[in-house]
Structure 1
Amino acid sequence: MNLFGLPPGFVFGTATAAAQIEGGAHAGGRGDSIWDAYASGHRNILDGSSPAVACDHFHRYAEDFGLLEELGGQAYRMSIAWPRIQPSGRGPANPEGVAFYHRLLDSLLERGIQPWVTIYHWDLPLALQDAGGWQNRDTVAAFADYTRILRDEYGGKVAAWMTINEPVVHAGVGHAIGHAAPGLMLLGSAFLVAHHLLLAHGTAVRILRETLSTPVGIVNNHSPVEPATDSERDSRLAVLYDHYHNGQFAGPVLAGTYPPELQSVAGISFEVIRPGDMEIISSPLDFYGVNYYFPTRVGAAPPFYPVPFVPKPYDGVPVTDFGWPVLPAGLPAILEQLRASYPQLPPVYITENGCAYNDGPQGGTGNARGVLHDTRRIEFLEQHLGAIGDAITAGVDVRGYFHWTLLDNWEWQEGYTKRFGLVRLEPSTLARVPRESFYRYAEIIRTVRGGI
């Protein structure tokens, strides 16, 4: 066993999302997504940018896959853009979009890299949003048709399928509080969106299994939760937040039930749940994807705040440029919590984990080779891989790790201001420059795969 406690068969990779890297917004017949609309006018994006170009992966994927090959990971987690396959979200597939992803998948396979494909990473076709989006149960049916297209086109090329990425973020940030696309402020009524996303997940699992034996899973964002103080109020709020953030999305998928506290304490209506829904949502999975970035410390919200709880800072803990606390111990903590809460938990893959640090006096400096030193990202990577080793030692079946992300991308409402990449992207030139963390990750991969 190596320094990190990871077995030789452990899967390593990186993760990206189509809307954040592809660009080519109107190339090849692609339709608009909710993110194109949200970014229009530049009022909602921190630096006034849009995803129209992003990393221009649409034209430069071969260069990016060359970096993946150099990195040496076995797998690459990518998403397919729904509006590139079905520009309006319905109807026949767009031949140019279908051909584009065949080229991507073939290019990965030629390099010996396994494609791990996310079916939906938040880029709903705008036409579907205009018809009600995820508030409309008909969107689940549209998603089913979209899934069938992907299954029939790419089933023989995909190593693993992930149905939906982080429904808690999409429902919560995009639909409950309006800080991301589509920019709705539904508050507790966003449960309807969450339920439809999970129903779409379960429906997709069943559709994929009709003809494929490829592993299928979901990707959920999870965070261990603790009260900000020892007060009874903060303790109650921490439990409630845990139900909201973790239980609301793990419980239906892994146990077929929503936490009853969402209804009894938070006042969320379960009337939208129809007979048979929970059986579909809890369709058995081959693996469970966990995205982990930081733990959450919860306290009471100020007066007139729309929700009762708010995150509180960790005193004396280093933070990323996002202000997220760097606490690797939270990763084995949430994995052990999931294992204890759900005995039927399938094998786990860490489908996202990473940190945003800008290059500069602390974040990274160049050397004679032009490689950017990013010591904090290397420390973050090493510490979290060690934390995964701790979880494995504790008995959690963790089988792989996908670092977020390969290269700096268009980071949603933050634009280009937050840099997560192992590779630096210069937005003005689209030049790619590997950071020191890229080479350190490659070294770790070689070491673990070699059983050293």
Structure 2
Amino acid sequence: MTGELAFPSGFLWGAATAAYQIEGATAEGGRGPSIWDVFAAVPGAVEGGASGATACEHYRRYREDVDILSTLGMPTYRFSTAWPRIMPDGRTPNPAGLAFYDRLVDALLDRDITPVLTLYHWDLPQALQERGGWVERDIASWFAEYASTVHTRLSDRVTHWTTLNEPFCSAFLGYGNGVHAPGVKDPQTALRAAHHHLLAHGQAARALRAGGATSLSIALNFSPALADGPADHDAVRRFDAVHNRFFLDPVLGRGYPADLRADLAHLDGLEPAIRDGDLDVIAEPLDWIGVNYYAPTRVVSLADPTEPSNCPLPGLRGMSVLPPRAPLTVTGWEQHPASLTDLLVHLSEYARTPLVVAENGAAFPDVVDEDGRVRDDDRVRYFAEHLRAVHAAIEAGADVRGYLAWSLLDNFEWAWGYGPRFGLVHVDFTSQRRIVKDSGRFLAEVATRNAVPAGGHSFTPGNPVTPGRRADR
């Protein structure tokens, strides 16, 4: 369905996951509780009362999952390490936790799969939440210590490092509207938490760089704002400032946008959190930016610029979010691949840093048929259209280095529980049986058609990924 589109030499293909969503084994190997363990235990917090306690049992079945990646011809795997598994109290290393990631990385390298490691995908140790969590400024140094611990252990085999995944979600959904862990509902608190996420990113990036890291990134989730006409230009600006530029601009060394600071002036949240030197730390140079894209957001301006928005992002006023337009995914997200093209072209010009599509995917109502096959034609079509969108962006000059599908496995989808299925691989959460879906086969064909020689993968100029070595453990 993509024809014979040729992607640039060295373009990276792969899939992504996150620790809490797939690992399970939340009480094994010395792992401590995370904020998601605690949040999921709150009645009504997660659909169906679900949690990540079992998830996909990846902690036990990681070799099977790596074999599936290899069978699919996916040469890259983006995964996250669980802070509470590596440091149960948030500060003290746990040898058993580190050993698990030794085994996972070695299994990947045994199959010539390049590991891309994300240090934080929302599973903060509960012990640190009890000390203030992301609202406590000291968390920046705690995170840098954690990052250094993981880097010291795995940097002989892992080249690509991502500090945070989607700080927008963990700050604004976790501390703003409370639909994610830890369930706090306060806009001022959310703004402080967001700043401390970025400060933690900067301190961790400096620590990794001091340890010799040469391929550093952050993964940000972008939602382009769409409007029907010029009258809604200010709605586009307001939404873009809070959703997108709040996190992107400081990372690029531009500080918090002036219009954003003016829009948020009525909240006493962001400004008191910023101290001298913070923005310099946050602006530690990066080698690439992870672009997580799922859907655009349609917006409209309100007559009264001070009227609160129906969008629950902290501080938004003077605009409303409109319903998405069909076709929609199971999660109610609009399918609009042209927005991905426009986003990648814009970001490439705006950031002037290599880009990797670090997450892109969709949930549909998958069914295992009587032949034991998952014919997820909607997802195949979704991937085909979005890959064409990525290719169009590259043709237009965007510096895009790779595409990582979300997700390798059906998994625990946060507050949605186990309802939405995003995986290339169907998981029966009772038997833990894995079935590669038609979409998985489709992406495998695209990746194989655009394969590059072993050791030839590179996110950054002059920085090829060389095969690592197994740990002698």
TM-score (norm 1): 0.93
Mean Cα deviation higher: 298-307 or 234-243: 298-307
Alignment of 1:197-236 (within 5 A): 197-227=197-227, 229-230=228-229, 232=231, 234-236=232-234
2:446 paired with 1:444: yes
How far, CA to CA, are the matches of 2:258 and 2:294 in structure 1? 27
Q: What are the Cα deviations for residues 32-66 of structure 1, in whole angstroms up to 9, with x where unaligned? A: 00000000144211121111001010111011111
Deviation at 1:304, TM superposition (A): 8.4
SS at match of 2:41: helix
Change (3 A) 1:2 1:318: closer
Aligned to 2:90: 89
**8 Å contact kept, 2:84–2:124:** yes
**8 Å contact kept, 1:5–1:386:** no
2:232 paired with 1:239: no
Q: Which of 332, 343, 346 matches 1:337?
A: 346
Aligned to 1:389: 391
SS at match of 2:273: coil
SS at match of 1:178: coil
Aligned to 1:110: 110
Aligned to 1:373: 375
SS at match of 1:76: strand
Stretches of structure 1 lacking an aligned partner (at least 5 in a row): none
Q: Which of 246, 249, 266 matches 2:247?
A: 249
How far, CA to CA, are the matches of 2:252 and 2:432 in structure 1? 42
**8 Å contact kept, 1:2–1:448:** no
TM-score (norm 2): 0.89
**8 Å contact kept, 1:176–1:189:** yes
Letter in 2 for 1:108: L
Deviation at 1:299, TM superposition (A): 3.0
Q: What are the Cα deviations for residues 306-337 of structure 1, in whole angstroms up to 9, with x where unaligned? A: 6434432243x200000000111111111122
Q: Which of 415, 419, 424 matches 1:417?
A: 419
Aligned to 1:348: 355
SS at match of 1:157: coil
How far, CA to CA, are the matches of 1:160 and 1:310 in structure 2? 39
Deviation at 1:25, TM superposition (A): 0.5
Deviation at 1:188, TM superposition (A): 4.0
How far, CA to CA, are the matches of 2:147 and 2:335 in structure 1? 36
**8 Å contact kept, 1:30–1:87:** yes
**8 Å contact kept, 2:348–2:399:** no
Deviation at 1:262, TM superposition (A): 1.9
Q: What are the Cα deviations for residues 392-418 of structure 1, in whole angstroms up to 9, with x where unaligned? A: 111110010000001100000101000
How far, CA to CA, are the matches of 2:174 and 2:3 in structure 1? 41
How far, CA to CA, are the matches of 2:444 and 2:275 in structure 1? 48
Matched residues, number = 440
RMSD (CA atoms) = 1.9
Mean Cα deviation higher: 123-132 or 296-305: 296-305
Seq. identity, %: 42
Alignment of 1:28-427 (within 5 A): 28-91=29-92, 93-227=93-227, 229-230=228-229, 232=231, 234-267=232-265, 268=267, 269-299=270-300, 307-308=316-317, 309-315=319-325, 317-342=326-351, 345-360=352-367, 366=369, 368=371, 370-427=372-429
SS at match of 2:389: helix
Q: What are the Cα deviations for residues 190-209 of structure 1, in whole angstroms up to 9, with x where unaligned? A: 11111110111111111111
**8 Å contact kept, 2:135–2:189:** no
**8 Å contact kept, 1:22–1:54:** yes
Stretches of structure 2 lacking an aligned partner (at least 5 in a row): 454-473
Letter in 2 for 1:117: L
